[in-house]
Structure 1
Amino acid sequence: MAKGDNGKKKARIDPTWPRVGEGEHPVSELAADRQGALSPFGDVVFPLESVPYVHPETEINK
């Protein structure tokens, strides 16, 4: 039968895990009002009236 070694268990604890008070839980995820990835554009309602984008045009040297 293998002997248990309690000293090794201390080494497996993540030192970056947040410490919270007794009875509280650390939050490791974002809370959002919708499923899926959040928009990188913030609170923008699509479709937009106009798009602030100008497509580049290539001029060929002759």
Structure 2
Amino acid sequence: MSDVAEKKRYIDNGWPTSDDGEHEHAVSEFAASVSGALSPFGDIEFPLPADHLPYVHPVTEVNR
């Protein structure tokens, strides 16, 4: 019976994995310390200062 229950257990690929590789349930709003949706970026505050961004604007060179 446990084999059937194990096969029917829902696993979302977006859920976090533990150290042994097993999927864990995603943390919901009920288990969080704040109300509302949790940020997928962790504790990073946005917008970031421009000097912290690794962006380099591309330069187009025309072939003639």
Assess same fold via TM > 0.5: no
Q: TM-score, normalised by structure 2?
A: 0.39
Structure number with the higher helix fraction is 2
Structure-1-length-normalised TM-score: 0.40
* More RCO (CA 8 Å, sep 6+): 2
Structure of greater Rg: 1
